[in-house]
Chain A
Amino acid sequence: MELVIGLVMIASAIAIIGYPLIQKDIHNLKVKPAKNIPLGYEQQKEIVMSSLGEIEFDFNMHKLTVDDYQELKALHKEKAVRLLKDHDKVSGVTERDLVRKLEEEIEADLISLEGSDDNEKG
């Protein structure tokens, strides 16, 4: 009995690993090697917005000096503007309009993102 079970086990093992090898429709398919690609616009935007939210939160928690706060906020705003500019590519949109648009987005995002660590991107 144990011999039969053993033979069945060996046959099953051969079938498990052998089945993909004899399938005709996949035998020549090659897979692209993994490579790095940049994050998408929405992901980048989420990162920069949540970073701005966190800077605001940490400043209010007295974990950032006024100088650092202003420097970091300016830096991230600049990155956000560049991001929006690259994305919109709308002729006639001035940098001033973009900054205003950004300010509005930050205000809106602060409500939902404030102080949160909920962004898993990075």
Chain B
Amino acid sequence: MANIGTIGLSIAFGMGIYSVVAFFLFNSNRGLKYLLSAKNAVYGTALFTTISVLAMLYALITGDFSIEYVTQYTSQDLPAIYKLTALWAGNAGSLLFWAWILVLLAALVTVSKENREYIPYASPIMMVVSVFFLFMLNFVSQPFVQLLSPPPDGMGMNPMLQNPGMVIHPVTLYLGYVGFTVPFAFAMAALIMKNPGDQWIKLTRKWTLISWLFLTLGNLFGAQWAYVELGWGGYWAWDPVENASLMPWLTGSAFLHSVMVQERKNMLKIWNMVLIIVTFGLTLFGTFLVRSGVVASVHAFGNSSLGAYFLIFTSLIILAALYLVADRINLLRQGNQFESYISKESSFLLNNLLLVGSAFSIFWGTVFPIVSEAVVGQKIAVGIPFFNQVNAPIGLAFTLLMGICPLIAWRKANFENIAKNFLWPWIIAIIGMLVMVFIGGITKPYALIAYTICVFVISSTLQDILKGVRVRKKLTGENLIVSLIRLLSKNRRRYGGYVIHMGIVMMIVGITGSNVFNSEAVKTFKPGETAVVGDYTISFKGLQQTSRDNMEVIYADLRVIKNNYDMGNLQVEKVFYSTSEQPMTEPAIISTFKEDFYVLLTGWEDDGSAIFKIHINPQIKWLWTGGWVIVIGVIFALWPGKGSGVGSRYLGRGEVSYGKRVS
């Protein structure tokens, strides 16, 4: 299997290089045969990379310990599902997985008839990136290295990776990361073709949105995994690797909004090009951080030489992309200008500045240890307070804009109309705030501001929908229900966006509640003892021991009663894996929309008494649920058919044409 995998990767690398050359020959007018051959080479690259992936999966499942990678990340007693996920557990395997997704995407893009005009330019760009990954797999981080004397068993998988999060988090995250290669390749293709209009944006909109969705889910699943596995009661610690996946999400979110301005108003062309270059660059930068060992992180793969290659490649490709932008700057400058500071396009620009500002602050905080080491010879880490202090106000301002943008018109708005549209949402938000203060007893300023903004966003969004229904009813004579259905279904991009905004609001509620109102307590119980923590009465029945798969488990049985309501029995575990000296603490969680009751078994005494750490984390469930609401919004917006496209343009005074297409 190792040989087949190695040959597959070698052929894929060769075909990848050939495809770039053949595309170049076609673009130099050497004939159609080179295009067909180049396209076949793309499909061949995908095919042979797939063969290598299958060879690796086969080796992992069957426990072929003659392969070093299989030995390092699996063992005979590892459950089958984790043998499969071992594909992305290590450096070489995860690179293979990344390259595989990338070449499959390249093949999908190349085969699509919709992208016909762009293929000769976009596909080779995707293949250049693929070739880099295949180069790494062939020469720097080979997954199929064989051992001269294979051991009888492997070293097993890190216990922290033996979690359902390992199945889904890396997959979604990688799909998000890799997906942004598509809009980047099309943007560069548009520049090469000297056609920087909005066609590349339209062609890649679904790719961008789906990549953004996967990046959102990847971040959320990662946070959820950390919450249930790392055992510190939280889900986000501004770790460099966490930041690495948040930064492209922020710039990708900015890009999603700013392309709408280009589509509707023929503006922000340079900005959009720079945003997609930055977003793509950040996806590679994240890989550099994870694999270079330059920053300390619980999520990193450890020190390796891969980082230098990634840094060089990322720098080269970004410089090349920026050179193209500079070279086509006159074409990109053509278009409309802002007509008013108060308009939808201005509010989108402000939203962009906030998102990019947030990404920059995170970038600076993340690379500061590297910069400080280079300048003063000492790694100075930036703490959680820095990230919170900078990003919390930006996050709130950005949330506020989610309520403002939908109510403002394109082109220009005036204060009279704004006052008319914002009156009721603000009245409702202020009433909501008073209810929170006088009935809910919320007095913490940050929480109060955040929740008030959330109420404002919800009420402004609902008002816009209700008003739309009323206007449609007036103009068409339809009844209310028909008006509502047609309004939503014929404007799925807009209202799908509103659903996504509601998901983000739910996440803001979760982040606010869990950060502002969380509490914790450490309690020692003797068997049969009962204690009260907050509204919870906890009874400790005693410690037990059991064996499961590849682990020994010490667990405590707890009975939890909240305000005389039996919440059930909890089993809190300390797990000792056969392949690891460090035990894992598995929390038990009772999760409701009000709060999470999160308990950890931190230790025990000879007399059978046990020490528990109990966290009360309010509203965390809103965070996870918000992610699923976003999924619904994206599906609604992207559902095929009429209504998923961008709205019509308000043509400006000076605009004489209605747009162009490429033949």
Contact = CB atoms under 8 A, between A and B. Distances in A.
Interface of A: 2-3, 5-6, 9-10, 12-13, 16-21, 23, 26-32, 34-39, 43-44, 47-48, 50-51, 53-58, 60-65, 68, 72, 75-76, 79, 110-111, 114-122
B11 A13 contact: yes
Contact of A63 (B41, B409, B658): B409
Contacts of A122: 198, 263-264, 646, 648-649, 658-659
B647 interface: yes
A38 B7 contact: no
Contacts of A21: 33-34, 37
A65 B585 CA distance: 62
Interface in B28-85: 29, 31-37, 40-41, 43-44, 47-48, 51
A120 B646 contact: yes
A89 to B, nearest CB: 18
B15 A13 contact: yes
B407 A51 contact: no
Nearest to A82: B656
B663 A23 contact: no
Contacts of A31: 26, 29, 32, 35
Nearest to A68: B412
Nearest to B407: A63
Nearest to B472: A115
Contacts of B444: none
15 contacts: A2-B4, A21-B33, A26-B33, A34-B663, A35-B663, A51-B649, A56-B475, A57-B468, A68-B414, A111-B475, A115-B471, A117-B493, A119-B647, A120-B646, A122-B658
A36 B117 CA distance: 11
Interface of B: 1, 3-4, 7-8, 11, 14-15, 18, 22, 26, 29, 31-37, 40-41, 43-44, 47-48, 51, 117, 193, 195, 197-198, 202, 263-264, 407-414, 416-417, 420-421, 464, 467-468, 471-472, 474-476, 487, 490-491, 493-494, 642-651, 653, 657-663
A30 B32 contact: yes
Contact of A9 (B51, B421, B644, B663): B51
A33 to B, nearest CB: 8
Contacts of B15: 13, 16-17
A122 B660 CA distance: 8
B499 to A, nearest CB: 15
Given A6-B4, A34-B662, A122-B659, A51 B648 contact: yes
Contacts of B476: 110-111, 114
B530 to A, nearest CB: 59
B3 A2 contact: yes
B643 A118 contact: yes
B660 A117 contact: no
Contact of B417 (A27, A43, A63): A63
Contacts of B464: 61
A16 B657 CA distance: 44
A55 B662 contact: no
Given A47-B649, A63-B408, A119-B645, A26 B36 contact: yes
What 5 A-B pairs are tightest by C-beta distance, nearest first?
A120-B645, A117-B647, A20-B36, A63-B409, A50-B648
